[in-house]
């Protein structure tokens, strides 16, 4: 037997022996995982969840027709694209624009979804902390977003700016806006020059279409309370502002119509004591008085005496204001008897 033919016979079993372990390894590895689109690791559990049809079934359950989701029919033509790890800005980048550690990994991966070879949106997959397994976090029905996120370079990190609803492909120190959102960035910009707004508390990941039931019930309760207040409060205000009925003229109100009142004893008014009139003080002769000039009465025959003048008697002061005094009349001299003799 020629040596060359003998060598070929020995080479066949040797190749089979070498290929057997490789085939076993491929069978144990499971279905082929989608390609990685950008920087960032993709766990095997996430790639298996996307490749074995679990993601499509979850999409149909939560966001398919007849649900409260997007209402997209994820039929047999539904395909998944590359898996891309999602990054975010660090707290150090928010505090220092020239940070040397501006981005960090998140617990999210995004996958572009196509139906009949047409992009329909993007699915976000995460490792659920409760089950410690992969699950659908959210689906965004947007063909434009699916096209934009498919343009992430292999050497860049896909950064999601949740505060501005923007997506950037960050390579080195440059950020290329894939979706500008509210960031205002429309061209490649240095990471240190980006004006970032710190996001608030992130909402809980979606997935369950019944998560809004509690909010709807709360809003319904608030609406019922507002309606009750709007119906009851104006009526009470009108009653409070309504004036009390005034009895008509000639109508005597009954006892039950009058407000209950307890009569208070009337206090006697104080009587002012009147001071007793004091006797007039004796004045010295001629003091404080104006002497009344009297004409001397002419002597008349017959020894007739002139009438004596009576001194004025002072009256005690009365409690009432004194009335005006009549004028003092001067005494007239007595007339002489008419006996034919002239007066002396």
C-alpha 144/C-alpha 120 separation (Å) is 8
3-state SS string over 308-323? Answer: CCCCCCCCCCCCCCCC
The answer to whether 62 touches 55, Cβ cutoff 8 Å, is: no
Q: Cα–Cα distance between 109 and 169 in angstroms, integer? A: 15
Strand-strand pairing, 166-171 and 174-179: antiparallel
Do residues 178 and 168 make contact, with C-beta atoms less than 8 angstroms apart? yes
Strand 78-89 with 103-115, pairing: antiparallel
| Per-residue pLDDT, 179 | 93
Given a cut of 70, whether residue 178 has pLDDT beyond it is yes
| Residue range 212-239, pLDDT digits in tens | 566 677 778 888 888 877 777 777 777 7
| Mean residue pLDDT across the chain | 72
Query: Integer distance in angstroms from the first to the last C-alpha of the chain?
Result: 222
| pTM, rounded to two decimals | 0.50
Residue-wise pLDDT tens digits, 271-300: 555 555 555 555 544 444 544 445 555 545
**pLDDT-wise least confident of 21-25, 120-124, 284-288:** 21-25
The tokens for 78 are: 């539904």
Owner of token pair 């016979």: 9
* DSSP per-residue string spanning 20-37: HHHHHHHHHH-SPPPPB-
**pLDDT for res 340:** 54
Q: 81 in helix, strand or coil?
A: strand
- Across the range 42-61, mean pLDDT stands at 94
Say how many residues make up the chain. 344
């Amino acid at each position: 037997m020629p040596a060359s033919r003998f060598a070929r016979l020995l080479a066949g079993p040797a190749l089979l022996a070498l290929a057997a372990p490789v085939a076993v390894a491929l069978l144990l590895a499971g279905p082929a995982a989608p390609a990685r689109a950008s920087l960032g690791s993709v766990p095997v559990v996430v790639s298996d969840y996307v490749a074995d049809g679990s993601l499509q079934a979850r999409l149909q359950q939560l966001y398919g027709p007849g649900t409260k989701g997007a209402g997209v029919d994820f039929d047999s033509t539904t395909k998944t694209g590359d898996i891309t790890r999602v990054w975010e800005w660090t707290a150090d980048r928010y505090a220092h624009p020239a940070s040397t550690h501006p981005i960090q990994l998140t617990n999210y991966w995004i996958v572009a979804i196509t139906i009949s070879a047409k992009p329909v949106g993007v699915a976000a997959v995460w490792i659920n902390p409760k089950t410690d397994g992969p699950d659908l976090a959210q689906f965004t029905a947007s063909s434009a977003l699916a096209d934009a996120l498919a343009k992430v370079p292999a050497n860049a990190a896909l950064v999601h700016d949740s505060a501005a609803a923007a997506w950037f492909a960050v390579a080195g120190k440059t950020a290329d806006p894939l979706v500008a959102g509210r960031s205002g960035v429309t061209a490649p910009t240095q990471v240190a020059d980006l004006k970032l707004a710190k996001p608030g508390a992130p909402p809980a990941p979606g997935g369950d279409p019944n998560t809004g039931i509690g909010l709807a019930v709360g809003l319904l309760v608030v609406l019922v309370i507002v309606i009750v207040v709007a119906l009851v409060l104006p009526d009470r205000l009108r009653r409070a502002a309504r004036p009390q009925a005034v009895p008509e003229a000639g109508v005597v109100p009954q006892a039950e119509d009058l407000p209950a009142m307890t009569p208070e004893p009337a206090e006697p008014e104080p009587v002012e004591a009147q001071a007793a009139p004091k006797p007039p003080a004796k004045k010295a002769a001629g003091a404080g008085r104006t002497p009344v000039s009297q004409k001397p009465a002419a002597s008349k025959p017959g020894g007739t005496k002139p009438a004596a003048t009576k001194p004025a008697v002072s009256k005690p002061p009365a409690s009432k204001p004194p009335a005006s005094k009549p004028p003092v009349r001067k005494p007239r001299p007595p007339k002489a008897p008419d006996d034919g003799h002239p007066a002396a």
